[in-house]
Structure 1
Amino acid sequence: MADSSKPKEEHVHDVFQQIAPNYDRMNNIISFNRHKAWRKFAMRKMAVSPGDSAIDLCCGTCDWTLSLAEASKNGPITGLDFSQAMLDVGRRKIAVDPYGDQITLIQGNAMELPFADNSFDYATIGFGLRNVPDLVQVLKEMRRVVKPGGMVVCLEVSKPTAQPFKGLYYFYFDRILPVFGKVFAKSYEQYKWLPESLKPFPGRKELAQTFRDVGLKQVEDYPLTGGVAALHIGIKEK
């Protein structure tokens, strides 16, 4: 069982180490398979070109990492995550993917990226920003490592504002989702973390302002599926 009395970074690490074997299956279940459509929407907005480079932070089991590699065709793609168990699942998927050879996986800290300034065309983070100890620091690091004119992209669960959908969403998120974790993954305590992690996380417009505060330009934000998720995009000034 994950110990929520630990510092956030240790607690989140324990959660993802434990849920890694069932992570992909549970994503399909708890999002009703919508996470795939959200990622496709993000990729359309990003318009990755052949040869582009990218770093995918909190890459987990590498679904987005693989999408970036397919869009880039032959560009270098780096996936970074602090959970070795998640990376192990991702590594098995990459090994059988036709674009896997261009992907490098690294176990590391999203708040201290081991890369020089202006290294990538894109920096992405999918369903990971709410789990980091300091989201501002992570966004600053993402901005630092992308090239001038490069793009910082966040795909994340969010907070609907319109009733009655808002009430139904929070009932599902707080009450039903952890039960799904218990039934389908024997991980009730770990899946209680998901609604807990959203409570202090900024809403869509607040996160867009944070993008601007760290120096990103042309910031765009898109609500997805009634606002249960959101896509944020910002450009590093040339």
Structure 2
Amino acid sequence: MDTDSKQTHVHAVFESIAPKYDMMNDILSFRRHKAWRRFTMRKMEVKPGQSSLDLCCGTCDWTIALAKASGNGRTVGLDFSRNMLDIGQAKIDKLGLGDQITIVHGNAMELPFPDNSFDFVTIGFGLRNVPDIIKTLKEMKRVVKPGGKIVCLELSKPDWQPFKGIYYFYFEKLLPLMGKWFVKRFEQYRWLPESLESFPDLQALAELFRDVGMRNVKAYPLTGGVAALHIGTKGNDVL
């Protein structure tokens, strides 16, 4: 699938599953995605007043968590799916965080922000869906401040048996069926295992972080390697 085709396909997938996205995340991950995000937030150590940009923010759960952690820090959520953003905006309004959080309809590969703008740039369960991973990581690095961090929380590839075999059976065979049963979306949820096939594993993604110039790169496997957290720091001498 070429870049334009992937972008069009992924956009259509997320536009269509937006209304049931949060519910299906809970079901398909057995609610582990919330524990993974809490672990990530502990590792990030967001300080009061620090700014964050959350890419592929979807329905804005991580965006909201970043805003709350920073107290009054500027927080921006960006996504290319208008339907997902509409659900996220409703959450933000309900929590009274509209003055702190700004939602942007945009492209993670072409960020509409100046260089060195944020203390943190995050992407949660979205990097495997972008057409160009390197371009996205370079954009994340560009807009994060020197000394700031780029953070990726994403599905990964377990490598030990028998867990690996059980996981791939669930992910490739059962998960799309669950999408069909619960929300009548078989083809859309078949995209999830397809999107992971060519995605870098734990160590390969860490190397991509280093390739784009991030320093002190750390990678953490989560739940037996089902997911992974990557954190890299932008050097203070990098403009």
TM-score higher than 0.5 = yes
Which portions of structure 1, spanning 4 or more consecutive aligned residues, are displaced by more than 4 angstroms?
none
Letter of the structure 1 residue corresponding to residue 50 of structure 2:
D
Distance 1:112 1:75 in 2: 23
State the match for 1:203 in structure 2.
201
Q: Normalising by the residue count of structure 1, what TM-score does the alignment of the two structures yield?
A: 0.97
Whole-angstrom CA distance in 2 between matches of 1:100 and 1:42 = 24
Q: 1:66 aligns with which of 55, 64, 69?
A: 64
SS at match of 1:109: coil
Q: What is the alpha-carbon distance in structure 1 between the residues aligned to residue 97 and residue 58 of structure 2?
A: 17
Query: Aligned letter for 1:233?
Result: I
Letter in 2 for 1:171: F
**Matched residue pairs, number?**
235
Post-superposition shift, 1:98? 4.2
What is the identity, as a one-letter code, of the residue corresponding to 1:173? F
CA displacement 1:77-135 (0-9 Å, x = unmatched): 00000000000010110011144430000000000000000000000000000000000
1:110 and 1:88 mapped to 2: Cα distance? 18
TM-score normalized by the length of structure 2: 0.97
CA contact (8 A) 1:57 1:110 kept: yes
Report if the CA contact (8 A) 1:155-1:229 is conserved: yes
Per-residue CA distance 1:38-96 (angstroms, 9 max, x = gap): 00000000000010000000000000000000000101100000000000010110011
User: Paired residue for 2:34?
Assistant: 36
Look up the SS of the partner of 2:120 in the other structure.
strand
Look up the equivalent residue of 2:168 and give its one-letter code.
Y
Matched, 1:185 2:179: no
Question: How far apart, in 2, do the equivalents of 1:98 and 1:177 lie?
Answer: 35
2:189 aligned partner, one-letter code:
Y
Give the alignment partner of residue 108 of structure 1, picking from 106, 109, 120.
106
User: Gaps spanning 5+ residues in structure 1: where?
Assistant: none
1-side partners of 2:93 and 2:43: how far apart? 28
Residue of structure 2 equivalent to 1:222: 220
When the two chains are superposed, the root-mean-square deviation of aligned CA atoms in Å is: 1.2
Q: Deviations over 1:114-162 (max 9, x none)?
A: 0000000000000000000000000000000000000000000000000
- Aligned residue identity for 2:207: Q
Answering whether residue 156 of structure 2 is matched by residue 158 of structure 1, we say: yes
Matched letter for residue 46 of structure 1: M
User: 2:148 aligned with 1:168, yes or no?
Assistant: no
Structure 2 alignment gaps of length 5 or more: none
Work out which of the residue numbers 7, 10, 14 in structure 1 matches 2:8.
10
Q: Which moved more, 1:95-104 or 1:29-38?
A: 95-104
Decide whether the 8 Å contact of 1:73 with 1:99 is kept in 2.
no
